[in-house]
Amino acid sequence: MKLASLPQGRDGRLVVVSDDLAWYAEAGHIVPTLQGLLDDWERLAPEVGSLAIELAHEAIPRLRFHEREAAAPLPRAFQWVDGSAYVNHVELVRQARGAQLPESFWTDPLMYQGGSDDLRGARDPITLADEAWGCDCEAEIVVVTGDVPQGVTPEAALDHIRLVGLVNDVSLRNLIPGELAKGFGFVQAKPASHFSPVFVTPAALGEAWRDGKLHLPLHVDINGQAFGRAEAGEECTFDFGVLIAHLAKTRRIGAGTLIGSGTVSNRDPDGSPGRPVAEGGRGYSCIAEQRMVETIRTGAPATPFLKYGDVVRIEARDFRGKSVFGAIEGEVVRG
């Protein structure tokens, strides 16, 4: 099934969305919010699933679903952590900073704890107080977990994934080096993240969800131009089972935890950093990677970070070219 939250209060109201994202049905008579559903998943998910089937059969009242009206599926959450499953991205960004990639990064996931008190909807503007902070997008896959016991294995962790979606993990590149040097992670360099209009159960993803990875291309456009076409299922060093197990090593995880994959990133077949889409490559899911490739080629980055008025669009398409989660599409505005 596919789920969304329409704006209402601080936590939105839960709706079920049709497979083609064209229709929705209210789910409030079962449970008012997505967090409420996640809190009592075993009991309530079958009921909401029945509603989804009735919606598909046009057996209940339905209304037009407009992606632009959706809040983040979880407008606030009790936990948001972001991994770095695509080590190619980490390596490129480190190179861009003139830093070496430790060998352990191929076996020990990077992961930071993010702010989850303010999660933005897909079409909410990307608010930025100062262009000099170096605003960048990071197009990622995200999962939502149920309760996960401490010490879970990567294999068992996969059973605790309730939903899958997309996230734009907005990053302030020029604030990152200072916070990295302090070692305590990011509180200023990672402002509010933006989430796809719809989250989807692994079962409803069919063949696109296997081995704890989403096997779909991730379309990233900036100002209407193709910027990234990376395959999320390729070169994903750490599947979501590994990321969840990493987080759960010393503590249990509460229902409704959001875990990001890190920026989706592919190399070229010859092992060199990916080429831009315009040159026949798969491009990039963040601007920092393009700047790094430019630096390698010419000695300096050429592509600027995001400016006011720039629009970032992120979407995953299935094998028929249909949008799976809806699009995250936000304009950078002063704020």
Residue 290 is encoded by which pair of tokens? 């393009």
Binding mask 230-249 for its own copies (x = CB under 8 A): ----------------xx-x
Q: Interface with its own copies includes 298 (CB under 8 A)?
A: no
Q: Interface with its own copies includes 117 (CB under 8 A)?
A: yes
Q: DSSP for 197-249?
A: S-EE-HHHHGGGEETTEE-SEEEEEETTEEEEEEETTSS-SS-HHHHHHHHTS
Q: Are 44 and 31 in contact (CB under 8 A)?
A: yes
From 7, 30, 123, 135, select the one nearest 76 (Cα to Cα).
7
Can you name the residues that pair with 16 across neighbouring β-strands?
3, 25
Q: Interface with its own copies includes 251 (CB under 8 A)?
A: yes
Residue 207 is encoded by which pair of tokens? 């063949």
The stretch among 21-29, 125-133, 208-216, 299-307 that binds its own copies (CB under 8 A) is 125-133
Q: Which is nearer to its own copies, 60 or 129 (CB)?
A: 129
Tell me the closest approach of the beta carbon of residue 104 to its own copies, in angstroms. Answer: 9
Gap between the Cα atoms of 72 and 74, Å rounded: 5
Q: Which is nearer to its own copies, 106 or 319 (CB)?
A: 106
Tell me the closest approach of the beta carbon of residue 18 to its own copies, in angstroms. Answer: 30
One-letter amino acid for residue 43 of the chain: R
Residue from 56, 254, 301, 311 touching its own copies (CB under 8 A): that is 254
Tell me the closest approach of the beta carbon of residue 154 to its own copies, in angstroms. Answer: 15
Residues lying near its own copies in the complex (CB under 8 A): 10, 39, 76-79, 81, 108, 110-118, 127, 129, 133, 150-151, 172, 175, 179-189, 191-192, 246-247, 249-257, 335
